[in-house]
Structure 1
Amino acid sequence: MSDEAITVTGLRKTYGTKNAVDGIDLEVHRGEVFALLGPNGAGKSTAVEILGGFRKRSGGDVTVLGVDPARPTRQWRERLGVMLQSTSGSSVLTAREALHHASRLYPHPRDVDEALAAVGLTEKADAKPQLLSGGQRRRLDVALAVMGNPELVFLDEPTTGFDPEARRQFWTLIESLREHGTTILLTTHYLDEADRLADRIGIIANGSMVALDTPEGLRARATDAWVSWVDGDVTHREATPTPTAYLRDLLARHDGEIPRLQITHPSLEDVYLDLIGAAAQADAEAEKEMAA
C-alpha cells in the first residue's frame, strides 16, 4: 500500500479561457490532516470535487486511495467520506433517520448515536434538516461524511456557520479521526482552525499552489517581528528581524518601565495575507504585460 492517500500532478480544470485549477501538484500522506486555504474563487472547492470524483478534470494525473477518481467504483466510494459546501436540505428523514439510512451503505459504519454526539446533535436527533439552523445542518453533513468510518474524508468548509462551541466539538472529532489513522483533507477560511488541526497546509491563489508547508514552516517565512510601545502620547511600532537586540537598545534609551511594551511575532494569518497579496500583485502585473 502506498504511503500517499492522494497524489496529484499537474491538475487542471478549465472553463472556456478561465483556469479554475491551474497545474496543481500535491501529495497527501496517509493519516495526515491536510488543510487547503485560499480566498473565494481560488479553486479549492473545484479541486476537492475532482478528488472526490464529482467533477471531471481537464488535465493532469490524479490518484486517490490508489484509484483514478474519474473512474470511481462502489468499493472505492465506500472508503471515502465527502462533505461538500452545500448543506442538508429539506427531507422527510430526521437527523437520526438520515444517519441510519447512510449507515446501510457502508460495510462497517459508525454507531448512529455516537456520530450524533460527536457533532453535538444528540438533542436534535429527531428534527428534520429544514428545522435545523444552518450551523446544525452543517453538523449533520459532517456526521454523514464520517458515518462509514472512511479511510479518507474530504471536508469543504465544514465549520461555516458553527458557533464557537460547535467548532471546538468539530476539532475534537477531527483529532479523534486522526488518532484512528483517518486521512483528512479540509478547506477552511479559519486560519486558527488550520493552525490547530493541520499537519500541513497548502495555499491556493487563482488556481495555483503558492505555498505548501507545515504551519510552523509557513510562520517561519515571515522574518520580522513587531516591537511596539507608547512614549507620551505617541504609539511606536517597529518591524525588526532581531527583536531581542532591538529590545536591548530600546531599554538602554529609557529609564524604568516602558509603557505598553509588546513584541508580536507574525501569525499564520499574517503570512497567509502576504502570500495571497503577492500572488494577486503578480497576476495583475502579468495581465498588464499581456494587455501591452
Structure 2
Amino acid sequence: MRGKGSRQALVVAAACAAAIVLAPAAHAQQPARAQAQAQAQAEAAARTAKADPGPLEESVSVTRADGRVAEFAIFSLPGNTPNERLFYRTQSTPGGSWGDWSQVLDTPVNFQNPVLSAGVDADGRLEVFTVEYETSTVVRIAQLAPDGAWSAPTAFGPGSAGIPRFFGYPTVFQRADGSLAFFEVYDIGSVPELYVDEQDASGSWGSWTDLGAGPEPESVGTPTKVTQAADGTLTAVAHLWDASSGYYCEISELTPGGPWGAWHSCTTDGCTGG
C-alpha cells in the first residue's frame, strides 16, 4: 500500500509542478493575444477605409434631406496630364460610413483655380458647379435622378455660354421648399456684376437676374451670406470683391422669386438693414 501511495503522491506533485510552470506561460499569452486582436482589427479597418484617389485640391460637402452628407472633391490623379478630376462620395446612412469615391467627369477641371460649389435639388438630385479646364467658364453637372448618372457639363451663366466668371466661389443657397438659388459674379461689360438664377418649385432653373455691381464703384464679390425671410424673400450680403472684411452691403428680393430692390451699405456682415 505504501508503494501505491508513493506513486499517487508523485503524480500529484508532477501535476502541481506542471500547473506552476504553465500558469505564467498562459498569463504571458494574454497580452500577446490582445495585441494580435488589436492588430487584426486595425488591419480590417484599413481594408474598409476608402482611400483618396490622389492629393486633394478642393472639396465641398452638402447635406441631403435624409441627413446623409455628400462630398465633392477635386483630386490630382497620378499619371495624368492634366490630372485634376472631379469625384464625389456619399454616406450610406446619416453619420455612417462613406461609400467609395466615384469620378463625376472623365475630363479635367481647371487646375489653376479649382472652384467647387454644390447643392441638393428638392427631389434629392445633386448639382455641382466648377470651372471648365483652361477657361473661366462655370459649368453645371447634375444627377439625372437621385443617386443616378450625371449629366454632361454645361456652361452656366447669363447670356452666351462664353461669359466668364470674375471672382469668388459661386454661392448656392437652398430655400425652405428645397429649390436652389445660385449667385456668381460674371465679367460682363466694364464692371463685373453679381447675377442670380433661381429654381422654381419643380427644380427648373429660371432666367438670370442682374443684381449689379453694388453701391460702390468697385464690384461686390459673391455673397458671404444668404438668408430667407418668413415671407420667402431672399437677402444676400456681400463685400467688395478684393476685401475680405470691413465693408458690407446687402440686397433683398421684393417678392419671392421676383425682382430685387436696391443695394445699401451696412457696418457688419449681419446687415439686415443696419
Q: TM-score, normalised by structure 1?
A: 0.23
Q: Which has the higher contact order (CA 8 A, sep 6+)?
A: 1
> Which structure: greater helix fraction?
1
Higher strand share: 2
Question: Which structure has the bigger radius of gyration?
Answer: 2
